[in-house]
Amino acid sequence: MKTTRLITTVTLAFLMLLSFNAEAQNFKGLDKSPMDGASYPSDYKVSDKLIKIVYSRPQLKGRDVNKLAKPGKVWRLGANEAAELHVYTDMKLAGKDVKEGTYTVYAIPGETEWTVIVSADLNVWGSYFYNEKNDVARVTVPVTKGEESLEAFSIAFEKSDNGVHMHMGWGTVRVAVPFVKG
């Protein structure tokens, strides 16, 4: 009787382990707005970065940028989680200090200008919990028009005389945000 109970217990434990293992092998498909990152320098082999952003890349799929990044409304700068900015050296944005660290980035899109916000908020999904009290810096920058239309929201960094510019593009909308070494 004890041997039968032991065999039954061991068999059940083994079956439970197999079911946990099988569950761990179910992988999700590709997200509709896949996560991406941009940094300066952009060479992935260079580990000494100045700045990096991790964001999700929504696609237009025939929709208008203004329907997805609504003018006058705080936007998470991408899709899913709010964009996460890593600053590896003290910087300035519109004269305000952005100390070395990790931040969330939001934007308030407009027809002719965007307000870009660096926030102390972390681990935020969307912009639903945006709190202006946690703003570290804000800058308003002009919107320009690109010659080609970008299907996916995109961010890239470019060196400037005294820091880097964070370039954002979607459709034909282009915005450049100047970060200055602090």
Q: How many CB atoms are closer than 10 A to CB 152?
A: 16
What pLDDT digit, counting tens, does each position of 2-45 carry? 666 656 555 555 656 555 555 567 888 888 888 889 999 887 77
pLDDT exceeds 70 at position 61: yes
User: Phi/psi class of residue 23: alpha, beta or left (left: φ > 0; alpha: ψ in -120 to 50)?
Assistant: alpha
3 state SS of 10: helix
What pLDDT digit, counting tens, does each position of 71-109 carry? 999 999 999 999 999 999 999 999 999 999 999 999 999
Interval 141-162 mean pLDDT = 96
